[in-house]
Amino acid sequence: MFSRAYRAAITVPPVLWVTIFLVGSYALLFCYSFWTVSSGQTIVHSWTLDNYRELLRVDVYLQTLFRSMGIAARVMIFSLLLGYPLAYYLSFHAGNRKDLLYQLVIIPLWVSYLVRAYAWKTILGSDGVLNTLLQYLHLTKHPLEFLLYSPFAVVLTLTHIYTPFAFLPIYASLEHIPRNLVEASHDLGASPFQTFWRVIFPLSIPGVLAGATFAFVLSLGDFLAPLLLGGPSGIMISNIVVSLFGAAYNWPLGAAISFCMLGLVVGLLFLSERLEKKWSFR
Amino acid sequence: MVATTNEVSVATGVKGTTTLLDIRNVAKSFGPNPVLRDISLQIAEGEFLTILGESGSGKTTLLRIIAGFESADAGEIWMAGERLDRQPPYRRRVNTVFQHYALFPHLTVAENVGYGLRVAKVAKDEIAARVEQALAMVKMAAFAQSKPAKISGGQQQRIALARALVNRPRLLLLDEPLSALDANLRRQMQVELKSLQREVGIAFVFVTHDQEEAMVMSDRIALLRLGELEQVASPREIYSRPATAYTAQFIGHTNLLRGEIKDGIARCSGLSWRTGFRDGPALFSLRPENIRLANAATASGVVRLRGKISRQAFHGATELLQLECAEGLMVSVRTATRENWQGELELEFSPADAVPVRESEERH
């Protein structure tokens, strides 16, 4: 049907792209994770499992990983709690304001992540907007210290940033529910509340799973929010990777942690896809 | 109006005279467009009533107003002495079979059928028994554990029916439920649906655009045109005594003869016959099957006409001929099948078969 030249022309660029920038660089990183760094700060190209042993031996790595997962889990839950009602309202009750509201939800995505993280810094700091307001209203005498440089600040910021990501797939799945199913449910005597729990929610589960996966995975690998707002108690696993590839100059250990993270994320994506398939009926 | 002097008005199958649903002066507009204007219609207990109309006639909107998915701008709907139109759809003892069935894709066939009973918090044992019975009624017991996506359109149709009937509604609404099926299955379902309706004795309001389907199944047909009721009558009545030109043309095939009545004589395109109707301009509907080949034995009391055959269409059991008569009059005639009708024919019809009809006004 198509000439060989044409097929080659459209196939080769993406294959090259994936090979060089994905497979190649991951393979290199994978090799690094089995090498070591000598005392003279050079990479020793001999194969060993030491980096992976180090990961399990030193408490701080696993602790930080678990803390990261805890933060990501909280971000996921709050994003769903905010994103679902929003998506539900837009899809079923917003009427002709739907498009406008949809744009309003999307607009923050066009604003730089860094700007939004900094915005929270100015809101939550000791001299920040929130503390100033609380003191002005005489609700507190001193600035609340836990607001900034804490896991709280990280969860709050990441929730703000990733709620649209949770919202979008939920909204898409709600939009795909044929409205005659809702009518059929009412017709069969189900109240709006029963209709929600028995028809709408079960049919939106694939969207919820996709949204939850987005929020969790994106938060888990985040390093800017903890860097800017986390303080010592809000450090996440990516901060450790960043420092290992930077100041600490231990690429092999950094690569080993990266690969553990990658395995975790790929496992999650696989699981989420399996579950989404199980809950989709078309 | 139409006189039904000798004709016995056979209200076939209108069971009893108890009115179940009373639609009073219902009107509805979408924006500036009126969809229904001043609809009044009564439906009797156990009746099979078909709302027939072309697309855009407002038939589905009327059904949705009865079900409660749309609200009327004006008018009232009463069911068995209670005001229905103020209740939300989930409180109405009315169930609907949707055009595309609207089965819940995440539930099994049995769960779909049991849905209404479950939300009504009926005891589990009773749900199981009634679901089984409903599935047996539509011959789908073997598919109880299947998901809707795994069964065919005709089977989904049966499940939608069982899901509605299991709740024992006072009234069942059916929105073109057969339109997605192919012709053979469709004819089979028409018969099944009709006998099922007799069996359960629930009043059916059936919406369709297919006049043949309406004729086969209904006790009465309500013909809707551009948001107004054109005629409400039994299939026989509506076919043999159409009230308007539109009805005559929409239900079956007809010849419209335009002419004048003067001193008890109707005159159309060179034809004339005695009639008991009022003087003035007149429009007559004459069915093609009521025109036959002239017969020497019935020379009196019939109207004779000659025509040249211009077209012939084979319809299986019959043949439809198009004839060109005097004064540019074109008539369709239904005859027995024969290959190659040709030349001129001498035809006749009885004056009683020329039914005066009202002009259907143009509306937009």
Chain A CB within 8 Å of residue B167 CB:
yes
Q: Which amino acid is at A255?
A: A
Q: State the smallest CA–CA distance between residue A280 and chain B in angstroms.
A: 8
Provide the residue-wise pLDDT of chain A in tens; the chain has 282 residues. Answer: 678 889 989 999 999 999 999 999 999 999 999 998 887 788 888 888 888 998 889 889 999 999 999 999 999 999 999 999 999 999 999 988 999 999 999 998 888 888 988 889 888 887 888 888 888 888 888 888 788 888 999 999 999 999 999 999 999 999 999 999 999 999 999 999 999 999 999 999 999 999 999 999 999 999 899 999 988 888 899 999 999 988 888 889 999 999 999 999 999 999 999 999 988 876
CB atoms within 10 A of CB A119: 14
Facing A281 at nearest CB: one of B118, B147, B164: B147
What domains can you pick out in chain B, each with its CATH number? 19-245 (3.40.50.300), 253-356 (2.40.50.100)
Q: Which region, left, alpha or beta, applies to residue B142 given φ > 0 means left and ψ of -120 to 50 means alpha?
A: alpha
* Strand ranges, E, within chain A: 36-37, 43-44
Torsion of CA B332, B337, B339, B343, to 10 degrees: -40
Q: Are A236 and A157 in contact (CB under 8 A)?
A: no
Q: Do B104 and A181 touch (CB under 8 A)?
A: yes
Count of pairs with CB atoms under 8 A, one residue in A, one in B: 71
Between CA B242 and CA B254 the distance in angstroms is: 10
Q: Which region, left, alpha or beta, applies to residue B9 given φ > 0 means left and ψ of -120 to 50 means alpha?
A: beta
Q: Which of A177, A182, A188, A276 to mutate to test the interface with B (most CBs of B within 10 A)?
A: A188
Chain A CB within 8 Å of residue B105 CB:
yes
Residues of B in contact with A281 (CB under 8 A): 105-106, 147, 149
**Which two three-digit tokens encode residue B51?**
């709302």
pLDDT (0 to 100) of residue B328: 83
Between CA A282 and CA A22 the distance in angstroms is: 33
Facing B67 at nearest CB: one of A187, A198, A282: A187
Chain A CB within 8 Å of residue B149 CB:
yes
Between CA A94 and CA A72 the distance in angstroms is: 30
Between CA B78 and CA B41 the distance in angstroms is: 11
pLDDT (0 to 100) of residue B9: 34
Residues of B in contact with A185 (CB under 8 A): 104, 115, 119
pLDDT (0 to 100) of residue B8: 35
Facing B95 at nearest CB: one of A188, A194, A281: A188
Provide the residue-wise pLDDT of chain B in tens; the chain has 364 residues. Answer: 344 333 333 333 444 578 999 999 999 999 899 999 999 999 999 999 999 999 989 999 999 999 999 999 999 999 988 999 999 999 999 999 999 999 999 999 999 999 999 999 999 999 999 999 999 999 999 999 999 999 998 899 999 999 999 999 999 999 999 888 888 888 988 998 999 999 899 999 999 999 999 999 999 999 999 999 999 999 999 999 999 999 999 998 899 999 889 888 888 888 888 888 888 899 999 999 999 888 777 667 888 888 899 888 888 888 899 998 888 888 999 988 887 778 888 899 998 899 999 887 765 5
pLDDT (0 to 100) of residue B234: 96
pLDDT (0 to 100) of residue B17: 73
B203-208 and B48-52 strand pairing? parallel
* Strand ranges, E, within A89-205: none
pLDDT (0 to 100) of residue B14: 46
Burial track A149-169 (b if 16+ CB lie within 10 A, e otherwise): bbbbbbbbbbbbbbbbbbbbb
pLDDT (0 to 100) of residue B75: 94
**DSSP characters over B16-73:** SS-EEEEEEEEEEEETTEEEEEEEEEEEETT-EEEEE--TTSSHHHHHHHHHTSS--S
pLDDT (0 to 100) of residue A282: 61
Q: Are B115 and A187 in contact (CB under 8 A)?
A: no
Which helix (H) or strand (E) segment is B271 a member of? Answer: strand B271-274
Closest CA to A163 of A90, A48, A104, A78: A78
Between CA A43 and CA A35 the distance in angstroms is: 7
Q: State the smallest CA–CA distance between residue B93 and chain A in angstroms.
A: 8
Q: Do B106 and A190 touch (CB under 8 A)?
A: no
What domains can you pick out in chain A, each with its CATH number? 57-278 (1.10.3720.10)
CB atoms within 10 A of CB B276: 10
Q: State the smallest CA–CA distance between residue B262 and chain A in angstroms.
A: 56
pLDDT (0 to 100) of residue A160: 94
Search chain B and give the residue with CA nearest A193.
B119
Chain A CB within 8 Å of residue B102 CB:
yes
- Burial of A39 (C-beta count, 10 Å sphere; 0-12/13-18/19+): exposed
Helix (H, G, I), strand (E, B) or coil at A117: helix
